[in-house]
Amino acid sequence: MALSDHVDLNGFIEGVKRRNPGQPEFVQAVTEVAEDIFDFIQDKEQYHKYQILRRIAEPDRVISFRVVWEDDNNNIRVQRGYRVQNNNAIGPYKGGIRFHPTVTESVLKFLAFEQTFKNALTGLPMGGGKGGANFNPKGKSDHEVMRFCQSFMTELYRHVGQNIDVPAGDIGVGGREIGYMFGQYKRITNSFEGVLTGKGLEYGGSLIRTEATGYGAVYFLENMLTRVGNSVEGKRAIISGSGNVATHAAEKIVQLGGKVLTLSDSEGFIHDPEGIDQERIDWVKAHKTKRRGRIAEYADEFKSATFHAGERPWGVECDIAIPCATQNELNGREAETLVANGCIAVSEGANMPTDLEGAHVFKKAQILFAPGKAANAGGVAVSGLEMSQNSARISWKEAELQQLLKDIMSGIHERCAEHGGRAGSDHIDYVRGANIAGFKKVADAMLAYGVV
């Protein structure tokens, strides 16, 4: 078949839209990858012939199930649970579980698709998957969360396993939820195995897993800055979110001599011109995890700060932006504001926080822009290290893991730089680099298997 007979980019996107009606997030994620991959595979007949991109963009399977649980007032509640197993060409399916009212099949398919590239970029043997439910843990009692997690795992257990699919946390799922789900898996199967990551240290968890996503996003940022002779030191950073990723990104920025000006949640953002230092970060961590409080209360506690209800932080002047909240939290207009305010680098701690228009603005302005699938891969990378420790039944020391995380992030940076450059320019397009490097590894494994 001549190359000209292959469907073009627009035809491909039209097909994705047609096959996935009502799934805008999934179409968006596939479009972003396809824009780069079509260019890359232009002259590579094998990838066309074996329909590799088309196959990666069709999940191996989507499992959807009913989750019934009883709340504290004895009401019977019904939620929908999912596991999307996108691709296991290079290792068992791997990816988090999200509990949030906005969870839909589209959101989880986009996340599982992204995860496939992200996991490949880490260099570790992990395929891509994602799961979750439209359950809102906010305002629920501990026992309600426990009953929900147990009911969720009572169905999920038959689809996962240490060599099959290894879920972890994501938005709304942290150490507490992983504990309840691991306990239920062990109870049903009578098997103590590394079926989940992000576990407590007492039962097979790994040191620095909690810190890894946020720290990794800043290591990646530092790698990008170092390459152009710059550094985090002395820079003003604006961060969105106030959960695990945001607080640890803030911590690493402070450790590297930067200043953090903002944090946020779904109700608004706080701006602290004095800088959110380690003591204040510790307060936020305790406030969010132990008291399960809101970020607005930061401004009551620290008088130098102001709370901006219903707003996002992207208008605050900065050198660096690290979106760590959720998908599509930074649009084209906000990206333009960041560029106009002199922002030189964006490192995505969340998954696809910048929408397609925003990403095009950053690309065009040629600022340093690290997509989530590269920048936030530190979390899943340490999950991969947790899997290795579980298999070997050992626990590595903190210093070893810290070094491994740094090395893995540098490795991802190198892989992106290798594929993200263009002849005649010194600028690295990290989006393109991440898409191509992630795709290539998965694609070559798929080619080895033939038509399956």
- Catalytic site positions: 130
Closer residue to ligand GLU in complex, CB, 262/351: 351
Report yes or no: 167 and 177 within 8 Å, Cβ to Cβ. Answer: no
Within 135-194, the residues that bind ligand GLU by CB under 6 A are 168, 170
Contact pattern from residue 296 through residue 315 relative to ligand GLU, giving x for each residue in contact according to CB under 6 A and a dash for the rest? --------------------
Residue among 242, 351, 354, 389 that touches ligand GLU (CB under 6 A): 351
Length of the chain: 452
Q: Which is nearer to ligand GLU, 323 or 379 (CB)?
A: 379
**Amino acid letter at 21?**
P
Q: List the interface residues with ligand GLU, window 353-382 (CB under 6 A).
A: 379-380
> Cα 344 to chain center, whole Å?
22
Which of 20, 86, 87, 197 is the binder for ligand GLU (CB under 6 A)?
Answer: 197
383 touching ligand GLU, by CB under 6 A: yes
Of the chain, the end-to-end C-alpha distance in Å amounts to 21
**Binder among 95, 131, 132, 216 for ligand GLU (CB under 6 A):** 95
Sequence-distant contacts of 388-397: CB under 8 A, at least 24 apart: 389/204, 389/206, 390/162, 390/193, 390/194, 390/204, 391/162, 391/194, 395/201, 395/206, 395/207, 396/206, 396/207, 397/207
Among 48, 83, 94, 285, binds ligand GLU (CB under 6 A): 94
- Cα–Cα distance for residue pair 124/121, rounded to 1 Å: 8
Could you tell me if 83 and 115 are in contact, meaning their C-beta atoms sit under 8 angstroms apart?
A: no
Sites for ligand GLU among residues 410-429 (CB under 6 A): none
Q: How far is the CB of 353 from ligand GLU (least distance, A)?
A: 12
Distance CA 92, CA 61 (A): 14
Minimum CB distance to ligand GLU smaller for 285 or for 373? 373
Cβ 7 to ligand GLU, closest distance in Å?
Answer: 30
Quick one: tokens of 112?
Answer: 């599982």
Q: Which residue is nearest to ligand GLU (CB)?
A: 96
Q: CB-wise, 270 or 346, nearer to ligand GLU?
A: 346
208 or 270, CB closer to ligand GLU? Answer: 208
Tokens of 378: 């530190």
Q: Distance between CA 413 and CA 416 in Å, rounded?
A: 5
- Residues 96-135 within binding reach of ligand GLU (CB under 6 A): 96
Contact stretch for ligand GLU (CB under 6 A) within 13-21, 93-101, 174-182, 323-331: 93-101
User: Which one, 240 or 351, has the nearer CB to ligand GLU?
Assistant: 351
436 touches ligand GLU by CB under 6 A: no
Q: Between 307 and 376, whose beta carbon lies closer to ligand GLU?
A: 376
Q: What is the DSSP string of 42-92?
A: TT-HHHHHTTHHHHHTS-SEEEEEEEEEE-TTS-EEEEEEEEEEEE-SSSS
The verdict on 244 binding ligand GLU (CB under 6 A) reads no
State the Cα–Cα distance between residues 105 and 61, nearest whole angstrom.
12
In the complex, the smallest distance separating the C-beta of residue 325 from ligand GLU, rounded to whole angstroms, is 13
Least distance CB 395 / ligand GLU (angstroms): 17
Site string for ligand GLU, 40-79 (x = CB under 6 A): ----------------------------------------
Residue 327's Cα: distance from chain center in Å? 9
Tokens of 22: 């009502």
Comparing C-alpha atoms, which of 367, 238, 376 is closest to residue 314? 238
- Interface residues with ligand GLU (CB under 6 A) are 94-96, 168, 170, 197, 351, 379-380, 383
